[in-house]
Chain A
Amino acid sequence: GEDVEQSLFLSVREGDSSVINCTYTDSSSTYLYWYKQEPGAGLQLLTYIFSNMDMKQDQRLTVLLNKKDKHLSLRIADTQTGDSAIYFCAESMVRGSTLGRLYFGRGTQLTVWP
């Protein structure tokens, strides 16, 4: 299957860490992505991880991948009000002509309170 599941809402206080979780079903996923979408805007790639990696850190962002459980998480350290947005988890698979096709979760609305 190609289902990607995310919780819909997350609220945190400014300065705390945020952890957004995602589960996927297809074990043949090659890349897993986190995108950010602000109101009325397109998608901004935050980070991505190749399926043979367990962890990737990029400044305030830490991605953890548990392939056995098909679980992906995004941790945002020192969350700021500007981080308030919808965060999408997505997976891609390589199957012939479907190279580059992404399957998205429904998105997690992150609200950061001052």
Chain B
Amino acid sequence: GAVVSQHPSRVICKSGTSVKIECRSLDFQATTMFWYRQFPKQSLMLMATSNEGSKATYEQGVEKDKFLINHASLTLSTLTVTSAHPEDSSFYICSAGTGVLTTDEKLFFGSGTQLSVL
């Protein structure tokens, strides 16, 4: 099956630094990638949708300048948490879709990144 690789799986950083998370589709072209955030014992909340070659669409309440998303190619999207603060500590998960609705339409998820900001 299709595989989405997310890296790093865990990162600890100091407050004020920036952290980049990568999401790669390994064996298919992902025209659309989604970034979710998950708080402990909570559901996944969509942060933004990125389409290759265009600007990301952010959900209401998500700061565009805080969470920079780049989808430069059909296999790679990155999320950069800029000037991270302890309240940004969370589990971030990406997913990738083919952008074509078929009877097999499904998204493929990365394994997630646990961000801890000290």
Residues of A within 8 A of B (CB): 4, 30-31, 33, 35, 40-45, 48, 50, 88, 92, 94, 97-107
Interface flags for B1-12 (1: CB within 8 Å of A; 0: not) read 000001000000
What is the distance, in angstroms, from B34's C-beta to the closest C-beta of chain A?
A: 7
Chain B stretch 17-52: residues in CB contact (< 8 A) with chain A: 32, 34, 41-44, 46, 49
A86 to B29, CA, bound (A): 29
* B112 in complex: contacting residue of A41, A99, A100, A107, CB < 8 Å: A41
A-facing residues in B65-118 (Cβ within 8 Å): 93, 95, 97, 99, 101, 103, 105-112, 114
Q: Give me the interface of B with A, judged by CB distance under 8 Å.
A: 6, 32, 34, 41-44, 46, 49, 57, 93, 95, 97, 99, 101, 103, 105-112, 114
Closest to A109 in B: B41
